[in-house]
Amino acid sequence: MLQLRVITPADRTDEVVRLIDRTVGTTHLVVLPGVARDPEGDVVMCDVAREAGDEVIGGLRALGIDSCGAITAENIDLSLSERADKAEKDAPGEPADAVLWEQLEEATHEESTLSITYVAFITLATMIAACGVVLDNAILIVGAMAVGPEFGPLAGICTAIVQRAPRLALRSLVALLVGFAVAMAVTVGFSWIMAGFGLFTESKLEGDRPNTGFVYAPDAFSFVVAILAGIAGTLSLTSAKSGALVGVAISVTTVPAAANAAVALSFGDTDQMVGSSEQLLLNLFGIVVAGTLTLVAQKALWATQRSRFRKPENS
């Protein structure tokens, strides 16, 4: 269940109440006249099944409440109420399958912003992966994958395509490209420093690497894994099962490929640099394609459910 709090001008309160009242999956409706001060107006609160959340929030935005008032939604961890149980049961579909598009846009907006923290994480992840590829250490590669934050901008691009949000697309693309560019540039310098201390050597990079050689050898399986990871990552975001993102992060060769390209560049190994770059681009493309198609499918599925969220007029 979600708890919805709406600040609305007094002359819009009746419309808001009617919208909530006629939507299947809502309960615990509370109206507090005149209590809001900034902005001034009434406060309307209710609990809503996650499946019905997008319907209610979309209706409130259609009324312009997001412009003249405020719409806030948060997850309810515990709700002991037969009415809440009935509302959740009446709402079509399953909570885990529901998509809150506004929440998804907000989450991807935050995760796809080019910030110092984002650049720091992707740079550190790439440097860790650089150590992993030189040492042929699979544990370091997995650790670097888990640290990398690149799925945020990738999800932002997918969401922007489906929601037709060019500003989100541009923001996500800039974060992705600039993040990888900075990370790889810093890793080249890091590789030179490590080589100066004798810790990175060309013989280690070009030697037999059974555990990490795949990062510069793209093949059909690379694209298949990227597709599957894109689907899994998108589902984990839309269903609020964020724990699954860790599994997605350690299944796709993006950061390790970028790291291998940077180390190869520092030693002038053109073949490995090109192969790693191809691996990186192939995985990024696969994730975006799969994520976008997953969101399109989810949007189409929930579009068929919309009529079921309306209560009969005589109810």
Return the pLDDT at 126. 96
Residue pLDDT tens, the chain, 315 long: 899 999 999 999 999 999 999 999 999 999 999 999 999 999 999 999 988 888 899 999 999 999 999 999 998 888 899 999 999 888 877 776 777 888 888 878 878 889 999 999 999 999 999 999 999 999 999 889 888 899 889 999 999 999 999 999 999 999 999 999 999 999 999 999 999 999 999 999 999 999 999 999 999 999 999 999 899 888 888 875 555 455 556 557 899 999 999 999 999 999 999 999 999 999 999 999 999 999 999 888 877 766 566 665 554
Return the pLDDT at 175. 95
Burial 88-101 (b: 16+ CB within 10 A, else e): bebbbbebeebbbb
**C-alpha radius of gyration, the chain, whole number:** 24
Q: Reduced to 3 states, what is the DSSP secondary structure of residue 229?
A: helix
Return the pLDDT at 39. 93
Token pair listed for 218: 């793209």
Strand intervals (E) in the chain: 2-8, 26-37, 40-48, 70-75
List, in sequence order, every residue forming a beta bridge with 6; answer none if it has no partner: 44, 71
Return the pLDDT at 248. 57
Query: Could you tell me if 5 and 66 are in contact, meaning their C-beta atoms sit under 8 angstroms apart?
Result: no
| Residue among 278, 258, 295 nearest 156 (CA) | 295
Return the pLDDT at 237. 82
Query: Could you tell me if 223 and 252 are in contact, meaning their C-beta atoms sit under 8 angstroms apart?
Result: no
Return the pLDDT at 249. 60
| Per-residue CA distances from 59 to 115, 216, 306, 308 (Å) | 33, 49, 11, 15
Taking the C-alpha atoms of residue 199 and residue 15, their distance in angstroms, rounded to an integer, is: 69
Taking the C-alpha atoms of residue 50 and residue 59, their distance in angstroms, rounded to an integer, is: 15
